[in-house]
A and B are shown apart, each in its own frame.
Chain A
Amino acid sequence: MSKMHITTSINGDTTEFLAEADQTLLSALRDNLRLTGTKEGCGSGDCGACSVRVDGRVVCSCLMLAPEAQDRAIETIEGMADGDNLHPVQRRFLEEAALQCGFCTPGFLIAARDLLDRNPNPTETEIRFWLAGNLCRCTGYDKIVRAVQKAAEDVRG
């Protein structure tokens, strides 16, 4: 079967790639476009390591087909910082030691930024439930939750 020509927006840039009809968006990002910041932890939508934002909604890119990216706006971890300027949630993850191995971190950051975009004043419970689709095996989540709380303060200004 011939490949499909897909035109999409990734982190604000118009991007074209050739995808197999049954290829996942995760695979297209990682293998075709070499945007390897988005991680594969399970391939079944259970761990959240492959989280990206599509037209303003967080999705597991392992559960979305690459051809579905046509004419969408995709945001990945590579587009989160503005040059040298880290997003508050990135900066707070570093300051609060909210990562140990760092493998789940891009997915957590995508989800946490999305939470703060919607609700800059979340309770601890709201943070914990918003991030319940992201697995972290290293931290026990404590410092992740604290980092998001601190980032929320920054976002509120």
Chain B
Amino acid sequence: MNERVKTPEGRPYYKEIGTRPIRPDGVEKVTGSARFGDDFTLPGTLVGKILRSPHPHARLISVDTSNAKKIAGVKAIVTGSDFPDQPFAYTGPAVLERNMWHVTRNVIAREKVLYEGHAVAAVAAVDEKTASAALQAIAVEYEILPHVTTLDEALAPDAVLLFEDMITRGVEPAPEKPTNIARRANYEKGQIDTAWSSADLIVERSYETKPVHQGYIEPHACLAHYHPDGQADLYTSSQGHFQMRALTATLTGMRLTDIRAIPAEIGGGFGGKTVVYLEPLAMMLSKMSGFPVRMKMTRSEVFKASGPAAGTKARIKLGAKKNGTLVAAEVEMYYEAGAFPGSPFVNGVLCCVAPYTIPNVRLTGWDVVANRPKVAAYRAPGSPQSNFAFESTVDIVCKKLGLDPIAFRKMNAVQVGAELLGGRQLNHEGYLQLLEATERHPQYATELGPNQGRGFAAGYWPNAGGESGATVYVNADGTVNIATGSPDIGGSRASMAQMTAETLGISYDRVRSAVNDTTSVPFTHVTGGSRVTFATGKAVVAACETVIADLRARAAKIWDVDVDAVDWREGAAHPSSSNVGDFDPLTLGDLAARATETGGPIGSSGALNATGHAPGFSAALCDVEVDPETGHVKIIRFTVAQDAGVAIHPSYVEGQMQGAVVQGIGWALSEEYIYGPDGRLQNHGFLDYRMPVASDLPMIDPIVVEVPNPDHPFGVKGVAEAGMVTAMASVANAVADAVDRRMTSLPISPPKLAKEIAAGKAAM
């Protein structure tokens, strides 16, 4: 199915970009031969397993492994003290800080366990049963401490502290007393305190969202093989094998060059596989035992010890003129980071106001620790939570003023060139176009039936550029191999091959596209931030352009002309004018066949730090039907609009949007972490942690707007995250429209909504 896109006026005509070819790794994935994290084995491979804390908060008095070590078949046991400690230092940009002192303690506990499921020890044994027996034989002495599992508990004045010396950062002057608040972020513009008097309408509401899991179907898994010479192989299912290599090296005291990280296929990540859990343990166990060690999490471990996204509390205050002009916005949000600081609270508060022009703004975010697993990135980390709160409040303003929600967004839309809070600037067109496209969509004019409602939300996510590398080789038969360092979670091998084919001027089926290990492609940052098609795409194109320069030089040599007299088009070298001489074109295949005589192998690498990425805006239009007796919400129609810049492979662009929306629907309606008073997770399986299934949903209609990004060779903007940002608010706004009750707490589960509807009837 290789349909050719029609060319709109003024846009270059592409042969491969915009078509929908079958992905290079497709057949492997429909025949079962693709190898994911747990599909690798080596001779002599041991089974690694983790002993996890049953307590949400306790001091680790001692971990005695002596009896476990005596069990036949147990080859190695590690505890926290087997790993080098890390300096206490926050590094990286304000929106994405990291502290390796925390990271090493999350991988394996040292002084304290901070959540149920916190790793305490790890064993490697000849088989599963022996490993389990060894875990049973490890004697751990805990001094059990009181725990805090909710934001309210963690913020209480007399709350037990996870870190007895934690002074809130970002508050001047620094507080004298330690608390569970790790950091405050504050952004202001205009005169917020006096601005309210100029508003005709002020709406203030509070909201909450619960922690939810990324829910990738593949549990974390890896295989580490430490060789006696100190070099090691690491098979890892992750969103970035360079990242896994770096973290594993730091946490085990190895050098980068000594670890060859081999990317397994990854069974979903959504941000949750940018984090290291198993790899350093498996590596250390392999080093100690001398055998390869395979580790995988159970689903219960995935829930208890990886992910999730932060739960939040929000207070939003908006002031508007009668005509709908926004004059002031105040946002205060608490993000639950879990056991270690570092929730995405900064991006959270920054994103929610970004789609608007508002003269007076105050944003305050708080990063709060609690006795739960440390949160991990989840698709536009931080933004869906704040968007739910902010866009719900905007919806109230629109309803109170009797304004159309899309017209309201257009009227108050952020303008290109605007300075956004947090030091960003909006440099790219596209947001207005997707609002207009949504407005024109037939769903917006579809009549609603009884108990039905329609919700709209707009949202923003900055997206990312960053470091990427690619290699391109031309083979003797005129085929081309490309490789990148970006794990392919959703079809990126195909888009890389399309960009290669388009740049070189050859057909897609002559390009083989791969994801290679850390020894065979330049450094590449994680598959995250909607950056791969943009940034790694740039690296691929850069490598191709170097190859083209080389091919032109070789043609010039063959023709004995100046290289400037050789053009490259449609996959061949041509004389740039008739003055150059009467030469037949030399195709890529011709030049490949003559590589030996013209200078040897043809190939190049591209490695760059991609700049010029465009933000991801989205607009969501959701129609629901509510059963007023049970409180069950059925999604009956859903349209999502995003600006892809240019959709390299439209099917995979649509797929990102549809998948993002459905994750947001789950967050809005059915997903939440449920803890008991004992601080233990009660729903650590897919039966009780309810993610959407096929029968819950309608088709999700994606509107792919294409306003090309001038800062990418083919106009790409990132599309993988923004679609989720608006999903929750659009569902909540649709429910409010259907039942005339505002649900300010997610998930909008049937019992909660039924209770609210009943309360509404009683009040009438």
Q: Say whether B32 contacts A106, CB under 8 Å.
A: yes
Q: Which residues of B contact A81 (CB under 8 A)?
A: 30-31
Q: Which of A56-97 contact B (CB under 8 A)?
A: 76-78, 80-81, 86, 90-91, 93-97
Question: Provided the pairs A101-B489, A141-B694 are in contact, do residues A94 and B699 lie with their beta carbons within 8 angstroms?
Answer: no
Q: Say whether B268 contacts A37, CB under 8 Å.
A: no
In Å, the complex CA distance between A75 and B36 comes to: 21
Question: Provided the pairs A36-B35, A39-B36, A100-B491 are in contact, do residues A141 and B662 lie with their beta carbons within 8 angstroms?
Answer: yes
Q: Which residues of B contact A86 (CB under 8 A)?
A: 27, 30-31
Interface string of B368-383 (1 = CB under 8 A from A): 0000000000000000
Q: Chain A contact residues: over half helix, strand or loop, or mixed?
A: loop
Question: Provided the pairs A49-B217, A135-B217, A138-B490 are in contact, do residues A101 and B267 lie with their beta carbons within 8 angstroms?
Answer: yes
Of B85-93, B503-511, B567-575, B651-659, the one touching chain A: B651-659
Q: Say whether A41 contacts B695, CB under 8 Å.
A: no
Question: Provided the pairs A128-B695, A140-B659, A140-B661 are in contact, do residues A100 and B216 lie with their beta carbons within 8 angstroms?
Answer: no
In Å, the complex CA distance between A131 and B695 comes to: 8
Interface string of A34-55 (1 = CB under 8 A from B): 1111111111101101000000
Q: Which residues of A contact B214 (CB under 8 A)?
A: 137
Question: Provided the pairs A80-B31, A86-B27 are in contact, do residues A100 and B489 lie with their beta carbons within 8 angstroms?
Answer: yes
Interface string of B170-203 (1 = CB under 8 A from A): 0000000000000000000000000000000000
Chain A: minimal CB distance from B235 (Å):
13
In Å, the complex CA distance between A96 and B491 comes to: 12
Q: Say whether A138 contacts B268, CB under 8 Å.
A: yes
Q: Which residues of B contact A143 (CB under 8 A)?
A: 651, 654-655, 658
Q: Say whether A140 contacts B29, CB under 8 Å.
A: no
Contact of B215 among A37, A95, A137 (CB under 8 A): A137
Is B523 an interface residue, CB under 8 A from the partner?
no
In Å, the complex CA distance between A115 and B219 comes to: 27
Chain B: minimal CB distance from A119 (Å):
16
Q: Say whether B31 contacts A131, CB under 8 Å.
A: no
Interface string of B487-513 (1 = CB under 8 A from A): 001110000000000000000000000
Interface string of B697-738 (1 = CB under 8 A from A): 101100000000000000000000000000000000000000
In Å, the complex CA distance between A140 and B41 comes to: 32
Of B17-25, B134-142, B154-162, B344-352, the one touching chain A: B17-25
Q: Which of B651-702 contact A (CB under 8 A)?
A: 651-652, 654-656, 658-663, 685-687, 691-697, 699-700
Q: Say whether B658 contacts A142, CB under 8 Å.
A: yes
Question: Provided the pairs A37-B32, A41-B217, A105-B29 are in contact, do residues A97 and B491 lie with their beta carbons within 8 angstroms?
Answer: yes
Closest Cβ neighbor of A145 among chain B residues: B694
Interface string of B249-271 (1 = CB under 8 A from A): 00000000000000001111110
Is A19 an interface residue, CB under 8 A from the partner?
no
Is B599 an interface residue, CB under 8 A from the partner?
no
Question: Provided the pairs A44-B685, A141-B694, A141-B697 are in contact, do residues A103 and B217 lie with their beta carbons within 8 angstroms?
Answer: yes
Is A14 an interface residue, CB under 8 A from the partner?
no
Is B7 an interface residue, CB under 8 A from the partner?
no
Chain A: minimal CB distance from B128 (Å):
8
Chain B: minimal CB distance from A151 (Å):
11
Is A109 an interface residue, CB under 8 A from the partner?
yes
Q: Which residues of A contact B267 (CB under 8 A)?
A: 39, 41, 101-104
In Å, the complex CA distance between A102 and B269 comes to: 12
Is B116 an interface residue, CB under 8 A from the partner?
no
Question: Provided the pairs A40-B38, A90-B31, A140-B661 are in contact, do residues A128 and B694 lie with their beta carbons within 8 angstroms?
Answer: yes
Contact of A94 among B22, B34, B35, B663 (CB under 8 A): B22
Q: Say whether A42 contacts B695, CB under 8 Å.
A: no
Q: Say whether A42 contacts B685, CB under 8 Å.
A: yes
Closest Cβ neighbor of B653 among chain A residues: A97
Chain B: minimal CB distance from A95 (Å):
5
Interface string of A115-157 (1 = CB under 8 A from B): 0000000000101110111111111111111100000000000
Question: Provided the pairs A46-B686, A100-B489, A101-B490 are in contact, do residues A35 and B32 lie with their beta carbons within 8 angstroms?
Answer: yes
In Å, the complex CA distance between A28 and B270 comes to: 30
In Å, the complex CA distance between A131 and B696 comes to: 11
Closest Cβ neighbor of A103 among chain B residues: B267
Is A25 an interface residue, CB under 8 A from the partner?
no
Is A10 an interface residue, CB under 8 A from the partner?
no
Is B218 an interface residue, CB under 8 A from the partner?
yes
Q: Say whether B299 contacts A142, CB under 8 Å.
A: no
Q: Say whether A137 contacts B299, CB under 8 Å.
A: no
Q: Say whether A44 contacts B25, CB under 8 Å.
A: no
Q: Which residues of A contact B270 (CB under 8 A)?
A: 137
Q: Say whether B693 contacts A78, CB under 8 Å.
A: no
Most buried by B among A30, A40, A81, A137: A137
Q: Say whether A101 contacts B693, CB under 8 Å.
A: no
Is B764 an interface residue, CB under 8 A from the partner?
no
Is B1 an interface residue, CB under 8 A from the partner?
yes
Is B26 an interface residue, CB under 8 A from the partner?
yes
Closest Cβ neighbor of B30 among chain A residues: A90
Q: Say whether B299 contacts A103, CB under 8 Å.
A: no
Q: Say whether B27 contacts A139, CB under 8 Å.
A: no
Contact of B218 among A41, A43, A139 (CB under 8 A): A41
Q: Which residues of B contact A41 (CB under 8 A)?
A: 217-219, 267, 299, 686
Q: Say whether A102 contacts B298, CB under 8 Å.
A: no
Chain B: minimal CB distance from A97 (Å):
4
Question: Provided the pairs A97-B491, A141-B662 are in contact, do residues A135 and B697 lie with their beta carbons within 8 angstroms?
Answer: no
In Å, the complex CA distance between A36 and B40 comes to: 9
Contact of A103 among B268, B298, B649, B654 (CB under 8 A): B268
Q: Which residues of A contact B649 (CB under 8 A)?
A: 97
Q: Which residues of A contact B216 (CB under 8 A)?
A: 101, 103, 137
In Å, the complex CA distance between A103 and B695 comes to: 20
Closest Cβ neighbor of A42 among chain B residues: B299
17 extra interchain contacts, Cβ-Cβ under 8 A, other than A34-B41, A140-B662? Answer: A36-B35, A42-B686, A46-B685, A47-B299, A94-B30, A95-B1, A100-B491, A101-B218, A104-B217, A106-B30, A129-B695, A131-B695, A134-B693, A137-B215, A137-B663, A140-B655, A145-B699
> Measuring CB to CB, which residues of chain A are less than 8 angstroms from any residue of chain B?
30, 34-44, 46-47, 49, 76-78, 80-81, 86, 90-91, 93-97, 99-106, 109, 125, 127-129, 131-146
Q: Which 8 A-B pairs have the closest CB atoms?
A: A37-B32, A103-B267, A102-B29, A140-B662, A97-B651, A46-B686, A77-B32, A140-B658
> Measuring CB to CB, which residues of chain B are less than 8 angstroms from any residue of chain A?
1, 20, 22-23, 25-27, 29-36, 38-39, 41, 214-219, 265-270, 298-299, 489-491, 649, 651-652, 654-656, 658-663, 685-687, 691-697, 699-700
